[in-house]
Every structure is written in C-alpha cells, then in structure tokens.
Amino acid sequence: MNKKSDAILTLDESLIEEGTAQLNSEISVLESWLEELDAADNHDNDASAARKSYTDMLQSRREMLTTLNSQSKP
C-alpha cells in the first residue's frame, strides 16, 4: 500500500474505534436508564413513553454497533 491508502486506512480504523467506543458508551447509559425505570416500577404515561423511547434508542445503537463492527472486519 502507498502512504495515502495507509493514511486513509488508519483514519478509517480510528473512526471505527471512536464510533465503537461512543456507541458502547451510549448503550451503557441507555441500559442504565432502563434499569432505573424498571427499579422505580413506575407505569404512568411519562415513564412508559420514556421506556419506549430508551428501548428504541437502545435497539438502534445496537444495530449501528453491529453494522460498524461488520465494516471493520476484512
């Protein structure tokens, strides 16, 4: 490989690592929020809406992480 393609590959790997770290962090936060909602055992409309929103966001982040991980594999 030449220097330019090496630089692009390194940049891509760096972005994938950063994206993976960010998604893992967001997943952890969302899981924590869902645990807090479950522990509060609150079933009013606001809690239900928050639970649905956090669950949707968690699913989305996990799908993005799976996609990102598949991009990083040769």
Long-range contacts of residues 29-38, Cβ cutoff 8 Å, at least 24 apart: 30/54, 30/57, 30/58, 30/61, 31/58, 34/58
- The residue ranking higher by pLDDT, 6 or 56, is 56
Q: What would the two tokens of residue 24 be?
A: 């893992």
**Euclidean distance between CA atoms 11 and 72, whole angstroms:** 12
Mean pLDDT of the chain: 86
Q: What is the domain count for the chain?
A: 1
Q: Specify the pLDDT at position 11.
A: 58
Answer whether residue 8 shows pLDDT above 60: no
Q: For residue 21, what are the domain limits?
A: 3-72
pLDDT tier at 69 (50, 70, 90 boundaries)? confident
For residues 21 and 29, is the Cβ–Cβ distance under 8 A? no
| Cα gap 71→7, rounded to integer Å | 17
**pLDDT, tens digit, for every residue of 27-41?**
999 999 999 999 998
